Structure 1
Amino acid sequence: MGFREKYARLGERYNILEKPLDRFFCPLRQKAISFVKGRTLEIGVGVGKTLPYYNPNVKLHAVDAVPEMVKIAEKKARELGLNARFYIMDAEKLEFPSESFDTVISSFVFCTVPNPEKAMKEIYRVLKPGGRAIFLEHTKSECELLNWLFLKPLDLVLGWLIEDNTLRETHHLVRGYFEVECEESYYKGIVRLIVARKAEG
């Protein structure tokens, strides 16, 4: 069973599963969204955890590979009065023209994407030159002891449950495609907020 089927089966219960982490992650989601400007694409919107933090004037396009998750997010966006459109779409194959967004954001997505390199290439492609890419992601810690004692056991559980890989080095992958403006590390690098730009010209 792949990640789509696992997330589809969770549906609304995903909110319950992640509830204990919300007090840690939601302030970071809010901070990530504060960097959003212009025509925006959110990759892997899930059940819409980021949606309450968007300015209603932002022209938001949001994608997720799991139809059940998209339905939940669409409902939340309507309740919030957001100017948003939703699509069932893989991060590795975005069906948008090249250079069509001012901002692309992902929030705890690259730990689940089957092919991170391909997804990063697609983000680069659809972002306008000078546009901003924002990543709030689970990453491998800078503390090896923490990786062995906490992340590796957690990786086994989350991998079985939702195909989640908490040991990816998305921060290194970002640097291969974008100019990093700032990178903030939280909880010894278990979570990182990266704000980057696509080079102009």
Structure 2
Amino acid sequence: MMRPERLWLLGGAFGALLLLVFTYFFVIQPKYQKADDLRGIADDTTTEVTRLRSVIAGLDEQNQHIAEYRKEQAANLAALPQTDSVAALLRELQTAGELTGVTVSGVSVGGAAEVTVGGQKVQALPISLTAAGPAAKVNPFLDQLQKVQPRALLIGSLNVATTSAGKATLTLTVQAFYAGGK
């Protein structure tokens, strides 16, 4: 039989061990788990901060070109007037012809139709026109219509008839775009 002092000693040791295990599993380990969770959150936050700094750097780069963007926006707004402005459009077509050495005639303007372009609803004004001039001037005239003149135009169809004398007659179907109603 064991002596009571030894029983108390073994009971105390067992109790201390039990207290140590209980403390580890219910007090210390949750603290370690919480610390690991916080480290994970800190790592995620660091990654997000790095990504956002990269985004900010890109935006700073774009901000340095804001004057160019505003100029481009103004040109784009000029290409899409608020009204059909048929008279101004006809003058632009005549000017495009004069600048490239092509005579524009036989212009016919149809009724506007609503179309969706780039997710925006705009009005498309169908135009048929005839132009004549030297065959070498045909491409510059088309470039003038599509790229140089301020109004947004889209050439839908094009027929070219050339003569042996180097003359060309164009029949074009074009769409002129504008933002709002008449």
Larger radius of gyration: 2
Q: Same fold (TM over 0.5)?
A: no
The interval holding the TM-score normalised by the smaller chain is: under 0.3
TM-score normalised by the chain length of structure 1: 0.25
TM-score normalised by the chain length of structure 2: 0.27
Q: Report which of the two has the higher share of helix.
A: 2
